Structure 1
């Protein structure tokens, strides 16, 4: 995959913003270069879908240029093209959720995150591809097809923010939004050599939603090629909304200086494969330990530690929570029985499993989750950050639905191979996937850095320190 002919597309988003505001190039020129890059690259990877009309987009770019000419600006995203994940509502632009049942659905209003990004000046050019209903970390669906890995077109891009990650890695976008339930911002970031952040629970409120009390496992968040861009987009997305009573109202901002942080003395607890509990494809632990060595070279202390609690009960409690929340999303589509034939089997499995779920069982799983949260807090008594691989397998064949085995270990559900990402989600903790390195055959992998509750800024600072030591990995472009 070629490096863009237009140097502006190689810049991080914060540098693009500065160049636009200083009139080094125009919003129109940036839009023209972006659309040319999409024409060049997207047919091979299928990351951006529902692309809007070019003339309409150029007219919007001209409007943004006119504002800059008179000294006005909407914000740091002013004039920057953005494609929104195809799970988030976009006014006047198809939002399919990757489902044939939603193929022609056009929302009448933007979701809250999209509203905030537009208010900061973003120009929405289209959507990024996802798995059907966002389920499973492999971005394929019956509406748009499969999104292919930026580093190997025969492999999966991950998901559910797979289109966003590939669009970033191939320089069709300079920063991107996504969402994360079971690693959906972290896994595709790892598999495409970019940064993906799951913010603290409640940091980025999601609206519209049918439930404001229980549905807290999924959150929107940022993805980027630099930690600075990750922080700036999080700053735009974050902030309390009174319609969402559990959204954080701590006034935290993420647009400060990242470079003043001294990582020396930071204590990192390396959880690895949880003492052999998590099956791992060969080479993943080694690549992640090489990434940890970069942090050690920055003065961090890295210790191999045990999780300290049995992981299987955590998984079983996770299954209860997940099937309950997924079933509530699928249920409206099954009000018409004929729709069942148009819903993928993994989604139907989640729904059917939930039909046997009792209130007592859900409460018991909630108690288990509460115990797990308290236990995770105890690990931070001795460590500032916890670390895990971002994935248990390398990017797999894009023709597969999901990995059936890891080594000799059979996967008993369609998402068991993603178990490594549930710990941050279930405990409501912020987590960043940083590019860790590559397999012998050139496939990317990431390392999860997990922070304290509400510790998004401290985590961004550590990730920024890591970024300075990982330039050789970050400069490795898609082949």
Structure 2
């Protein structure tokens, strides 16, 4: 058995399985032991099925023994986000309305991950219907932050991020509308990418032309994240907006060792567009020195996104209304209040309102395109706050400034959503209390490969992501 532990990179684990240095079953047993050790405290992995997981790992070993060609994730344990449908596996969406739902087919992102050889073990916890950046629901309860069990793990891919940080899975999938891959990555000191529009296709979908939500990868390092992106990205005839570049174009390794010639725009608040906690602002500002030491040219600059807030909120409410209107009419009590209110905001929207939002998206795209002609990457906060109390639904204030809704404190993420640009959360520092803070690296449209290369150099310069939570006997490496 190879000398691996739960914090060994996913790439090393996969290589060890392919090289028969460790069996898929042994790797599965390693992760199941870690889940048994820490998941009772963190509550990140749900609907765990150890028997099916071990049977899947045994079949992965038999495939290798038969000499079959295997995929890049062959034998890796994997827990899918509980909003991603997995054939034969309970998928609840964190809602009592779907508590016993068992899909009959895989959705596309799941299909690709399974085809690459990953072995399902269960699901990762989510907020109700993946709405909000704090992971709690009436079925499974609250996911807690492995770095401080009194703090939020973020959301909506909070279970995924916490499971990664705690060493329960080597890779994780998620989805992002208003920050649901980026925010939990920041809170849990891991890496999360919101790909640009069309990079990771979705199917099935009630709206194949929808622009605000996308699936994407999470990992403990940029190169591991690139490995998973190479699996889930790529064209699909089932998704009308999918881009033609094959996923393999994003696979590691990333050769760059410095940032010479890279033009960095750094902005703490996009010109006063939102409030930022003082400690978060300090950590973001401090990255200028890191980037300059790596050879980048850094200046304070940002694109103008003054109508992005209106566009995002209009499209979110419109999408929620058309998705949930029948359910919320029949069972209003089955929705948490903040989500119910957000859905009902869509009821009064007119065609003119939605048309205006799409016109705003078009204007934003043009301004962002021009901005990235003179900059290679935008560096800014992922989240406006560090991990907040797990007992709160959302932060009520930032530096004393009230945050009236569960969306207000997420502007730093969702204003980027409407640009359509790829955006990556990378670990950057810790507050005085020991809470993780990431920075958001935003690249030009369709610029995922270059963004990953820049992020990899930044990650190697800081090595903040190598700090593990002091959780259980297996913590650290």
Residue 168 of structure 1: CA displacement? Answer: 0.4
Choose from 339, 354, 357 the match for 1:362.
Answer: 354
Q: Which deviates more, 391-400 or 402-411?
A: 402-411
2:394 alignment counterpart: 402
Residue 61 of structure 1: CA displacement? Answer: 1.1
Give the 3 Å change call, closer, same or farther, for CA 306–203 of structure 1 in structure 2.
Answer: closer
2:35 alignment counterpart: 38
1:27 alignment counterpart: 24
Give, in whole Å, the separation in 2 of the partners of 1:332 and 1:430: 33
Residue 17 of structure 1: CA displacement? Answer: 0.6
1:233 alignment counterpart: 228
Choose from 217, 230, 233 the match for 2:212.
Answer: 217
Residue 306 of structure 1: CA displacement? Answer: 4.0
Question: Any stretches of 5+ residues in structure 1 without a counterpart?
Answer: 1-5
Give the 3 Å change call, closer, same or farther, for CA 45–245 of structure 1 in structure 2.
Answer: same
Residue 260 of structure 1: CA displacement? Answer: 4.0
SS of corresponding position for 1:154? strand
| TM-score of the aligned structures, taking structure 2 as reference length | 0.95
SS of corresponding position for 1:427? coil
Residue 25 of structure 1: CA displacement? Answer: 1.1
Give, in whole Å, the separation in 1 of the partners of 2:217 and 2:91: 19
SS of corresponding position for 2:145? coil
Q: Any idea what the Cα deviations from partners look like across 1:142-195, whole Å, max 9, x if unmatched? A: 010000011000000000000000000010011110111001000000001000
1:386 alignment counterpart: 378
Residue 408 of structure 1: CA displacement? Answer: 2.1
SS of corresponding position for 1:460? helix
> Is the contact between residue 387 and residue 447 of structure 1 (CA under 8 Å) also seen in structure 2?
yes
Q: How does 1:130-169 map to 2 (within 5 A)?
A: 130-169=126-165
Q: Any idea what the Cα deviations from partners look like across 1:112-137, whole Å, max 9, x if unmatched? A: 01000010000011000000010110
Q: How does 1:328-347 map to 2 (within 5 A)?
A: 328-334=322-328, 337=330, 339-347=331-339
Count of paired positions: 467
Give, in whole Å, the separation in 2 of the partners of 1:417 and 1:112: 31
Residue 55 of structure 1: CA displacement? Answer: 2.7
Q: Alpha carbon RMSD of aligned pairs, Å?
A: 1.4
> Is the contact between residue 390 and residue 433 of structure 1 (CA under 8 Å) also seen in structure 2?
yes
> Is the contact between residue 223 and residue 252 of structure 2 (CA under 8 Å) also seen in structure 1?
no
Q: Any idea what the Cα deviations from partners look like across 1:177-214, whole Å, max 9, x if unmatched? A: 0111001000000001000000111000111111112x
Matched, 1:477 2:468: yes
Choose from 101, 105, 122 the match for 1:109.
Answer: 105
Matched, 1:442 2:434: yes
Give, in whole Å, the separation in 2 of the partners of 1:239 and 1:475: 30
Runs of 4+ aligned residues of structure 1 deviating over 3 Å after TM superposition are 306-309
Residue 373 of structure 1: CA displacement? Answer: 1.4
SS of corresponding position for 2:33? helix
Residue 305 of structure 1: CA displacement? Answer: 1.2
Matched, 1:321 2:315: yes
Give, in whole Å, the separation in 1 of the partners of 2:302 and 2:441: 16
Residue 27 of structure 1: CA displacement? Answer: 0.7
2:455 alignment counterpart: 463
SS of corresponding position for 1:477? coil
Q: Any idea what the Cα deviations from partners look like across 1:448-478, whole Å, max 9, x if unmatched? A: 000111000000111111111112x122111
> Is the contact between residue 290 and residue 436 of structure 1 (CA under 8 Å) also seen in structure 2?
no
Give, in whole Å, the separation in 2 of the partners of 1:359 and 1:368: 14
> Is the contact between residue 328 and residue 340 of structure 2 (CA under 8 Å) also seen in structure 1?
no
1:94 alignment counterpart: 90
Q: Any idea what the Cα deviations from partners look like across 1:72-94, whole Å, max 9, x if unmatched? A: 24211111100000010011111
Give, in whole Å, the separation in 1 of the partners of 2:89 and 2:302: 47
Give the 3 Å change call, closer, same or farther, for CA 256–166 of structure 1 in structure 2.
Answer: closer
Residue 261 of structure 1: CA displacement? Answer: 5.8
> Is the contact between residue 24 and residue 60 of structure 2 (CA under 8 Å) also seen in structure 1?
yes
Residue 269 of structure 1: CA displacement? Answer: 0.5
Give, in whole Å, the separation in 1 of the partners of 2:293 and 2:166: 30
> Is the contact between residue 330 and residue 347 of structure 1 (CA under 8 Å) also seen in structure 2?
no
> Is the contact between residue 101 and residue 342 of structure 1 (CA under 8 Å) also seen in structure 2?
yes
Residue 289 of structure 1: CA displacement? Answer: 2.2
Q: Which deviates more, 444-453 or 420-429?
A: 420-429
> Is the contact between residue 157 and residue 163 of structure 1 (CA under 8 Å) also seen in structure 2?
yes
Give, in whole Å, the separation in 2 of the partners of 1:101 and 1:365: 31
Give, in whole Å, the separation in 2 of the partners of 1:388 and 1:364: 27
